[in-house]
A and B are shown apart, each in its own frame.
Chain A
Amino acid sequence: MEGKKYIMGLFKNEDQVVSTLAALKESAFKFQRVHSPFPSHKIMDALKLKKSKVGWFTLTGGILGLISGFALAVYCSLEWKLIVSGKPIISLIPFFIVGFEFTVLFAVFGNVIGLLTQARLPTSKGMEYYDPRCSGEHFGVLAACEPMQQDDLKDFFKQNGGEVKVFD
């Protein structure tokens, strides 16, 4: 976004991050993201993220797979009719195995596609606003504001006990 200022608060304490996030929700500043050196449940809970949509990709993949599996088996049987001991050409009982396997396969595909798209991958830009200290011992909370509010945001992070880094 043009004209916005991106400022990062760097914290050493997990609990500080949690309280900062709660305060940030109340304030006028725009929360962007958190960088954490390790996965943290406390921060995950504080972010109050919406439920991931990946499950829907998996479900769609699974249903498509079930249909495709049956369709493939039916198509093959109709193209190459092998009549064994008077059994019907299209017999759903054994086709279920193909349907089941395709359900699993397509559900996995759906899941991977969902994961990549929902995690905004693939990306060529790399991290725009990042501080290498976030791979060390710091948590980074990134927020955006109007240029005139810049000092307020800096003070906000300092009050919450963090160091401040301003991106140009």
Chain B
Amino acid sequence: MASNEKNTATSQKSPMGWISIILIIIGLAAFIYGVVGDHPEKAWQAYLINFLLWSAIAQGAVLFSAVMHMTKARWSGPLSALAESFAAFFPLSFVLFLILFLGRTHIFPWLHEDLHGKEVWLNIPFLFTRDGIGLLILYAIGFAYLYNALQLRADEFQNQGGFRQMIYKGWIRNNRSTEQVKKKMTTWAALYILAFTLVLSLIGYDLVMSMDPHWISTLFGGYSFVKAFYVGLGALIILAAITQIRKGKESGLKPSHFHDIGKLFFAFCLLWADFFYVQLTVIWYGNIPEETYYVIERTVMVPWSKLAWTIFIVCFIIPFVILINKKIKSKPGFMVILCSVIIIGFWFEHLLLLAPALSHGAHSLSLNISDGLITAGFFGLMVIAVSSFLKRFPGFSRTTEAGSPG
């Protein structure tokens, strides 16, 4: 009887699920309307921004679990399992990347430019092949890590369907002890961290920096993946806080968890700002016109300068001042607001990096409602992915670790 109830409960969509589906439909409608309308490049710009942002969130959050495992950290507790749930967005992210191919004429301003020898690297077939393979490798490693992580609690999945049954069978077949599974996890975690830095650098160069094909910054890749970890941690804190608020003590999340991950979040806030500053200083000292125009266009010229300052204040100054305080870091409700604001800030940060190149000579930010609606659609996708994962693999039961079978 109890199991029956449970089954009906999982098969029914919660109100949150319905809202997400509605958001996805609205976002899709706004996107299609934009693409067939007069300004398809605006719709594709919003699509690219959202693809980059939400993929970075998923990749960065999974990185948290990998890093915690690699460093043998104990403080993360149930946070690691929650972080792994973001891997559910990986397949979606890959499909979204493939769809980007349809909008190639709108999102690559260098297509009809003379690239002075750079066309060897910047051409559509090579770009999509290498980025596609890169993402595929990153996501495959992510899933391999996740598969092993889930084997640690495979005995819970014995009489379940689908993926859980597969994991259970794999666990029985391999007959590995907890130690062996953990060793496997370590290998995959190390590979994931390596792939994360390389692939996110590549994506950063190809899909963001190449928009201004004559501008180069060697640090741009590093900047991209530090940023991805920063937003990934922000999203993880939001998920943890919502879990804590909804489930209370059952979630196993204590104020100390929020305090600790808040400190890590604070550290990456500083590191992100540091990577930005390090790039800026070098460009400032060199004072070479090919390099400086990129910064000047975005931080001094209208209409972008105000946006640039807003982003700097929202993504660095405000979190810096607020996160000095210890008590605030352990207040889930407040952290949801702060992290949401920072993630919205990073939406605009992507806009600042992309839009000046995509719309030369713009006099205003020219954002409209469809940008918001497309973003809402992506948000819906993320919520669906994470919540359906957590429904199948409730994160907080990780604390009881399984022994070896038989």
Contact = CB atoms under 8 A, between A and B. Distances in A.
Interface of A: 59, 85, 87, 91, 93-94, 96-97
Interface stretch (B102-110, B236-244, B279-287): B279-287
B277 interface: yes
B277 A94 contact: no
Nearest 4 Cβ contacts at the A-B interface? A93-B284, A85-B287, A93-B281, A93-B280
Contact of A96 (B277, B285, B287): B277
A91 B161 CA distance: 64
Contacts of B287: 85, 87
Q: Looking at chain B's contact residues, is the secondary structure mostly helix, strand, loop, or mixed?
A: helix
Interface of B: 277, 280-281, 284-285, 287, 324
B29 to A, nearest CB: 45
A59 B281 CA distance: 26
A5 B284 CA distance: 70
B356 to A, nearest CB: 21
Contacts of B280: 93
B146 to A, nearest CB: 37
12 contacts: A59-B324, A85-B287, A87-B287, A91-B284, A93-B280, A93-B281, A93-B284, A94-B281, A94-B284, A94-B285, A96-B277, A97-B281
A31 B285 CA distance: 62
A16 to B, nearest CB: 28
A126 to B, nearest CB: 35
Nearest to A51: B326
Contacts of B281: 93-94, 97
Contacts of A93: 280-281, 284
Contacts of A87: 287
B217 to A, nearest CB: 16
A93 B324 CA distance: 24
A93 B287 CA distance: 13
Contacts of A97: 281
B368 to A, nearest CB: 35
A96 B287 CA distance: 18
B231 to A, nearest CB: 24
A19 B252 CA distance: 30
Contacts of A96: 277
A87 B280 CA distance: 15
